[in-house]
Amino acid sequence: MKLFVPIERDAEETRVAASPDSVKKLKALGFDIVVEAGAGTSSRIPDEAFVAAGARIGTAADAKDADVVLKVRRPLPAEISGYKKGAAIIGIMDPYGQDEALQQLAAAGLTAYAMELMPRITRAQVMDVLSSQANLAGYQAVIDAAAVYDRAFPMMMTAAGTVPAARVFVMGAGVAGLQAIATARRLGAIVTATDVRPAAKEQVESLGAKFIAVEDEEFKAAETAGGYAKQMSAQYQQKQAELTASHIAKQDIVITTALIPGRPAPRLITRQMVESMRPGSVIIDLAVERGGNVEGAIPGEIAAVGPAKVVGYLNVSGRIAASASLLYAKNLAAFLETMVDKESGLLKIDLTEELQQATALTHDGKVVHPAFAPAVD
C-alpha cells in the first residue's frame, strides 16, 4: 500500500499532510510512505525527519502509483491527472460550489474524501480538521490583531501613566471564536463575544468574557441538531445589527468568525459600523474566504477602512503552519487507521462505513455524496 504526501501546489498553502509522528503511525499500519522532497519545509519539518520516521523521499511522479495521497487542499487539475485510477485522495476538499472540480475527481476514477465533512461524533473527534485548524486560527487571529494594533492589549499601570486594556469583541463563538476569546483574555484584554447559538453563552462566560446577543425566541431555537448555526431571519439580523452597531463603536479590536456550513458567511459588520470605531482599531475577518463577515474586507490584504484596519488574511491556520500540520497530520492518520482492515491489513474502501460514507465525495467514476451529486430528474 503506497502512500504519497506531495508538496501543496497552491501558493497560499504552507501546511503539509504528514508529520514524523503520523508517518510512524501509518508505517505501523502497513503503508509504504513516500514524501515529496521539501514537502515539510514551510512547516519546519526537514526531509530527514520524515526519513527518520520511516518514510522515503520522492518526487511528484510518485503520485502515479500511490494507493493513497494525503493532501491539505483539493488537488489541482494537473495533479489529478497524475494519480492512479482507484486511488484514495484525502484532504480538505472545499467542495461547495465546486461541481467541475468534483466531476474531474470522479472522472479520474478517484475516491476523494473531504475531511471537513467528518461527522462531529465522539469517536471522530480526533479526525475533526475543522476543529484542529479553527482552534489555531482563533489563536493566530488574536496574535495578528496584536501585531497590527498600535497599542498594548493589557492594562499597564506604570510610573509614566496608565495604558488602558484593549477592548476585544469576538463575533461567532464556535471553535475559533472560543480560542480567540481565551487568547485575548490571556493577553489581558477586556473581552465580549456574541453568537446566534444559545449554547455559546455559557461557553463564552466560562472563559471570563461577557456574552452579548439578541436573546429572543428565534435565538433560543437557532442551533441545528449537528450543533451548527442556522441562517437567521432578516428581522433577527436587523436586531443583531442594531445591537452590534452600538457595541462595536466602543471596541478596539473585533474578531469575526461567523460561518454557516455550505452558505456564504453572514455579513455582520457594515462599513458604517467600521467608520464608527476609534482611529487605530483593528478588525480581523476570519470568514473572508467564505465571502467575509465584514464589509470592506479584502481577501489576503489589510484594508484601510475609515479609522480601522480590516485584516483579511487567508489560510490563517497556515500562518502557524508547524503547529497546524502536526494536528492536521494526526487527524488524517486517525481516519486512515479506520480504513485499514484489521484482519487483512489492507486498505478497505467501504462507502457503507459511517465515516467514509459521510466524507466520500467521488467514487468509481461518480460524485457519490448526496449533498454534491448532480440532481437526477
- Find the catalytic residue in 62, 74, 113, 128: 128
Interacting residues of 14 by C-beta distance below 8 A, sequence separation 6+: 8, 42, 43, 315, 318, 319, 321
| Selected binder of ligand NAD within 93, 180, 248, 258 (CB under 6 A) | 258
197 is catalytic: no
Candidate segments 33-41, 100-108, 224-232, 333-341, binder of ligand NAD by CB under 6 A: 224-232
9 is catalytic: no
Q: Does 104 bind ligand NAD (CB under 6 A)?
A: no
Q: Does 125 bind ligand NAD (CB under 6 A)?
A: yes
131 is catalytic: yes
CA 360/CA 355 separation, integer angstroms = 8
| Selected binder of ligand NAD within 109, 188, 261, 264 (CB under 6 A) | 261
Q: Does 257 bind ligand NAD (CB under 6 A)?
A: yes
Candidate segments 8-16, 36-44, 222-230, 368-376, binder of ligand NAD by CB under 6 A: 222-230
Shortest separation between residue 350's beta carbon and ligand NAD, angstroms: 22
Q: In this structure, what DSSP letter does residue 168 have?
A: E
Give the residue nearest to ligand NAD (CB).
174
**265-324 residues near ligand NAD, rule: CB under 6 A:** 266, 268
Which position has the grid cell 477586556? 190
Of 274, 302, 325, 360, whose CA–CA distance to 93 is shortest?
A: 360
Shortest separation between residue 279's beta carbon and ligand NAD, angstroms: 26
CA 99/CA 21 separation, integer angstroms = 35
Q: Does 173 bind ligand NAD (CB under 6 A)?
A: yes
For residue 56, give the H/E element and its range: strand 56-58
- Find the catalytic residue in 151, 228, 237, 267: 228
CB 8 within 8 A of CB 36: no
Chain-centroid distance, C-alpha 140: 12
As beta bridge partners, residue 192 has 169, 210
128 is catalytic: yes
Instruction: Show the cell assigned to 137.
Output: 486560527
For residues 93, 99, 104 and 110, what is the CA-based torsion angle, rounded to 10 degrees?
A: 50
Active site members: 120, 125, 128, 131, 228
Query: Where do contacts with ligand NAD occur on this chain (CB under 6 A)?
Result: 120, 125, 128, 130-131, 134, 171-177, 194-197, 199-200, 227-229, 232, 257-261, 266, 268
